Amino acid sequence: MSIKSSQTLVSEALNEIKTISTDEAYKLSKENKCNLIDIRDIRELDKDGRVENSHHIPRGMLEFWLDPESEYFRNGKFDLDKEFVLFCAGGLRSALATKSLKDMGYKKISHIDGGFHAIKQSDFKII
Protein backbone atom coordinates (compact mmCIF):
# COMPACT_ATOMS: atom_id res chain seq x y z
CA MET A 1 0.00 0.00 0.00
CA SER A 2 1.34 3.40 -0.99
CA ILE A 3 0.29 6.37 1.10
CA LYS A 4 0.82 9.90 -0.18
CA SER A 5 2.55 12.19 2.26
CA SER A 6 0.93 15.40 3.40
CA GLN A 7 3.81 17.21 1.67
CA THR A 8 2.87 15.51 -1.62
CA LEU A 9 -0.79 16.47 -1.18
CA VAL A 10 0.17 20.10 -0.55
CA SER A 11 2.52 20.14 -3.56
CA GLU A 12 -0.20 18.74 -5.79
CA ALA A 13 -2.71 21.25 -4.46
CA LEU A 14 -0.33 24.17 -5.06
CA ASN A 15 -0.07 23.14 -8.73
CA GLU A 16 -3.86 23.35 -9.12
CA ILE A 17 -4.89 26.38 -7.08
CA LYS A 18 -4.42 30.14 -7.12
CA THR A 19 -1.96 31.51 -4.56
CA ILE A 20 -1.94 35.24 -3.86
CA SER A 21 0.35 37.53 -1.90
CA THR A 22 -0.62 39.35 1.27
CA ASP A 23 -0.61 42.59 -0.77
CA GLU A 24 -3.11 41.17 -3.27
CA ALA A 25 -5.28 39.84 -0.44
CA TYR A 26 -5.14 43.16 1.40
CA LYS A 27 -6.24 45.03 -1.73
CA LEU A 28 -9.17 42.63 -2.29
CA SER A 29 -10.19 42.96 1.35
CA LYS A 30 -9.95 46.76 1.41
CA GLU A 31 -12.01 46.97 -1.80
CA ASN A 32 -14.60 44.60 -0.27
CA LYS A 33 -14.09 42.14 -3.13
CA CYS A 34 -13.50 38.98 -1.12
CA ASN A 35 -14.56 36.78 1.74
CA LEU A 36 -11.40 36.59 3.85
CA ILE A 37 -11.54 33.19 5.57
CA ASP A 38 -9.33 32.17 8.50
CA ILE A 39 -9.32 28.37 8.78
CA ARG A 40 -6.99 28.15 11.79
CA ASP A 41 -8.08 26.35 14.92
CA ILE A 42 -9.92 28.53 17.44
CA ARG A 43 -7.04 28.07 19.90
CA GLU A 44 -4.68 29.64 17.34
CA LEU A 45 -6.96 32.66 17.00
CA ASP A 46 -7.22 33.05 20.77
CA LYS A 47 -3.43 32.80 21.15
CA ASP A 48 -2.19 34.78 18.14
CA GLY A 49 -5.04 37.15 17.31
CA ARG A 50 -7.42 37.56 14.42
CA VAL A 51 -7.23 39.44 11.16
CA GLU A 52 -9.60 42.39 11.09
CA ASN A 53 -12.59 41.82 8.76
CA SER A 54 -11.88 38.09 8.41
CA HIS A 55 -14.37 35.29 9.01
CA HIS A 56 -13.44 32.19 10.94
CA ILE A 57 -14.38 28.79 9.57
CA PRO A 58 -12.72 25.89 11.35
CA ARG A 59 -10.86 23.74 8.80
CA GLY A 60 -12.87 20.70 9.82
CA MET A 61 -16.17 22.43 8.99
CA LEU A 62 -15.19 24.31 5.82
CA GLU A 63 -16.77 22.00 3.23
CA PHE A 64 -19.95 21.65 5.31
CA TRP A 65 -20.39 25.38 5.99
CA LEU A 66 -19.95 26.17 2.28
CA ASP A 67 -22.07 23.33 0.87
CA PRO A 68 -25.57 24.60 0.01
CA GLU A 69 -26.86 21.02 0.41
CA SER A 70 -25.49 20.65 3.95
CA GLU A 71 -27.54 21.26 7.07
CA TYR A 72 -24.54 23.29 8.30
CA PHE A 73 -24.54 25.68 5.31
CA ARG A 74 -24.04 29.28 6.43
CA ASN A 75 -26.63 30.78 4.11
CA GLY A 76 -26.31 34.54 3.83
CA LYS A 77 -23.09 34.72 5.86
CA PHE A 78 -20.84 34.96 2.81
CA ASP A 79 -21.18 36.69 -0.56
CA LEU A 80 -20.87 33.76 -2.97
CA ASP A 81 -20.14 36.17 -5.86
CA LYS A 82 -16.93 37.40 -4.22
CA GLU A 83 -13.63 35.56 -4.18
CA PHE A 84 -12.98 33.32 -1.20
CA VAL A 85 -9.47 34.00 0.12
CA LEU A 86 -8.34 31.41 2.64
CA PHE A 87 -5.45 31.43 5.06
CA CYS A 88 -4.10 29.32 7.90
CA ALA A 89 -0.93 29.74 9.98
CA GLY A 90 1.63 29.02 7.28
CA GLY A 91 -0.20 28.23 4.04
CA LEU A 92 -0.27 24.42 4.05
CA ARG A 93 -3.78 23.77 5.40
CA SER A 94 -5.17 26.62 3.32
CA ALA A 95 -3.65 25.10 0.17
CA LEU A 96 -5.45 21.82 0.85
CA ALA A 97 -8.66 23.64 1.81
CA THR A 98 -8.55 25.78 -1.34
CA LYS A 99 -8.17 22.67 -3.48
CA SER A 100 -11.09 21.08 -1.67
CA LEU A 101 -13.34 24.08 -2.40
CA LYS A 102 -12.13 24.09 -6.01
CA ASP A 103 -13.06 20.40 -6.22
CA MET A 104 -16.51 21.30 -4.86
CA GLY A 105 -16.99 23.70 -7.78
CA TYR A 106 -15.98 27.05 -6.34
CA LYS A 107 -14.32 29.12 -9.08
CA LYS A 108 -13.28 32.32 -7.27
CA ILE A 109 -11.01 30.75 -4.70
CA SER A 110 -7.42 31.40 -3.59
CA HIS A 111 -5.17 31.23 -0.58
CA ILE A 112 -2.57 33.54 0.89
CA ASP A 113 1.07 32.60 0.44
CA GLY A 114 2.69 32.27 3.86
CA GLY A 115 -0.59 32.39 5.79
CA PHE A 116 -0.96 34.24 9.08
CA HIS A 117 2.83 34.40 9.54
CA ALA A 118 3.06 36.51 6.36
CA ILE A 119 -0.10 38.47 7.19
CA LYS A 120 1.45 39.66 10.47
CA GLN A 121 4.23 41.30 8.41
CA SER A 122 1.76 43.03 6.05
CA ASP A 123 -0.72 45.91 6.15
CA PHE A 124 -3.49 43.77 7.65
CA LYS A 125 -4.58 44.77 11.15
CA ILE A 126 -4.40 42.03 13.79
CA ILE A 127 -6.98 42.34 16.55
> Model confidence at 75, in pLDDT bands (50, 70, 90)?
confident
Q: Does residue 125 fall inside a structural domain? A: no
Q: Does residue 70 fall inside a structural domain? A: yes
Residue 34 has pLDDT above 90, yes or no: yes
Whose CA is closest to 17, among 125, 106, 117?
A: 106
| pLDDT of the residue at 28 | 97
Q: Domain count of the chain? A: 1
> Model confidence at 1, in pLDDT bands (50, 70, 90)?
confident
Q: Does residue 3 fall inside a structural domain? A: no
Residue 32 has pLDDT above 90, yes or no: yes
Q: Does residue 13 fall inside a structural domain? A: no
Q: Does residue 65 fall inside a structural domain? A: yes
Domain extent, residue 97, equals: 18-119
Q: Does residue 9 fall inside a structural domain? A: no
> Model confidence at 19, in pLDDT bands (50, 70, 90)?
very high
> Model confidence at 8, in pLDDT bands (50, 70, 90)?
very high
Q: Does residue 47 fall inside a structural domain? A: yes
Mean pLDDT across the stretch 89-105? 97
Mean pLDDT across the stretch 97-109? 97
Buried b (16+ CB within 10 A) or exposed e, 17-26: bebbebebbb
Q: Does residue 64 fall inside a structural domain? A: yes
CATH number, domain with residue 82 = 3.40.250.10
| pLDDT of the residue at 12 | 97
